[in-house]
Amino acid sequence: MNAPTKKLKVATTSLAGCFGCHMSFLDIDERLFTLLDYIEFDRSPLTDIKHCSPDCDIGIIEGGLCNAENVHVLREFRKNCKVLIAIGACAINGGLPAQRNHLPLTTILEEVYHTSPGLANGMIPNDPELPLPLDKVHPIHEVVKIDYFIPGCPPSGDAIWKVLTDLLAGREPELGHGLMHYD
């Protein structure tokens, strides 16, 4: 690959995720330097930039949607990024957080804040600063259009590298045996 004249702006975030996919992203190790010849980071936990620039090229999103804040962030990404990539099991199918989906939210909040043993005068937090939880956890493709997916929990650094380099080279990303996994 030849270094481009203009670097692609990449934003990343973790919604209802564990940052494991971001950790895995860092696992591409020294290839990060190569990558940085082609991209620059915009909004991301790596830069601590709080909002997306309006001209981001790629948004990488870890985690599903479990509350209102997640929805706002996802919408910001969709609005400002030309291409959105869902990374990891939670972004793709809700993952671990979505395993609450068979329970009514009211039951969950009741149990967590009222009826669990050891709670004294528990009350459900109602501070307007706190985002309200959605009744179900949703994968992000159910709320905005997602262009590419990198499955895995987390996807390996190699898988992330493969998809990104495929994209940078203008190829349809493909993960062969060994790189493609859902766990």
Partner 1 sequence: MALNDMHAEAVAGIVDRVVTRYRRDPTCMVQILREVQEACDWIPPEAIDRMQALLGVPRTKIEGVAGFYSFFYTQPRGKYRVLFSDNITDRMLGNKAMMDRLCSSLWVERGKVSEDGLVSIGKTACTGMCDQGPAMLVNNYAVAGLTATRIDEIAELIRGKVPLAEWPAEYFRIEDNIRRADILLGSDLKPGDALLAARARAPSDGLMASNMRSWREGLPTGLSGPISMLDEIKRANLRGRGGAGFTTALKWEACRNAPLKAGLQRIVVCNADEGEPGTFKDRVLLAKYADLVFEGMTVAAYAVGATRGFVYLRGEYRYMLDHLNAVLAHRRRENLLGNNILGIPGADFDLEIHVGAGAYVCGEESALIESLEGKRGTPRNRPPFPVTNGYLDQPTIVNNVETFAAAALIALNGGEWYAGIGTKHSAGTKILSVSGDCERPGLYEYPFGVSIRQVLEDCGAKDTQAVQVSGPSGICVAADEFDRIIGFEDIPTAGAFTVFNNTRDMFQVARNYVHFFQHESCGFCTPCRVGTSLLKNLMDKLHNGAGSPYDFTEIEKLNQLLQSMSHCGLGHTACNPVLDTIAKFRPAYEKRMMQQDFTPAFDLDRALAAARQMTGRDDPAAHIITEESGEGA
Partner 2 sequence: MSQTFIIDGKTVPFEEGQTIIQAATKAGVFIPHLCYHPDFKPHGSCKLCTVKVNGRQTASCTMRAMAGMVVESDTEEINAERRALTQMLFVEGNHFCPSCEQSGNCQLQATAYHLGMMSPHYDHFFPNRPVDASHPEVLLDFNRCILCSLCVRASRDVDGKNVFALSGRGITTHLIVNAKSGQLADTNFTLDDKAAHVCPVGVILRKRKGFAVPIGERTYDKQPISGTVDAVTEGH
Residues that bind partner 1 (CB under 8 A): 51-52, 54, 68, 71-72, 75-76, 79-80, 104-106, 109-110, 124-126, 128-129, 131-136, 138, 142-145
Tell me whether residue 32 or residue 143 sits nearer to partner 1 (CB atom).
143
Task: State the alpha helices, DSSP H only, in 68-168.
Answer: 68-80, 89-93, 105-110, 157-168
CB of 103 to partner 2, least distance (A): 8
Which helix H or strand E contains 62, and what residues bound it? strand 56-62
What three-state secondary structure class fits 12?
strand
Helix (H, G, I), strand (E, B) or coil at 59: strand
Beta carbons within 10 angstroms of residue 154's beta carbon? 25
Residues at the contact surface with partner 2, assessed by CB under 8 A? 86, 89, 92-96, 98-99, 101-102, 136, 138-139, 141-142, 146, 148-151, 153, 173-175, 177-178, 180-183
Ramachandran sector of residue 121 (left: φ over 0; alpha: ψ -120 to 50; beta: rest): left
Which residue's CB is nearer to partner 1, number 28 or number 52? 52
Least distance between partner 1 and beta carbon 120 (Å): 19
Tell me how far, at minimum, the Cβ of 122 lies from partner 2, in Å: 26
Distance CA 129, CA 42 (A): 25
Least spacing, CB of residue 139 vs partner 1, in Å: 11
Among the listed residues 96, 25, 26, the one whose alpha carbon sits nearest the alpha carbon of residue 61: 25
Measured from the CB atom, the residue of 28 and 66 that comes closer to partner 1 is: 66
* Between 118 and 176, CB nearer to partner 2: 176
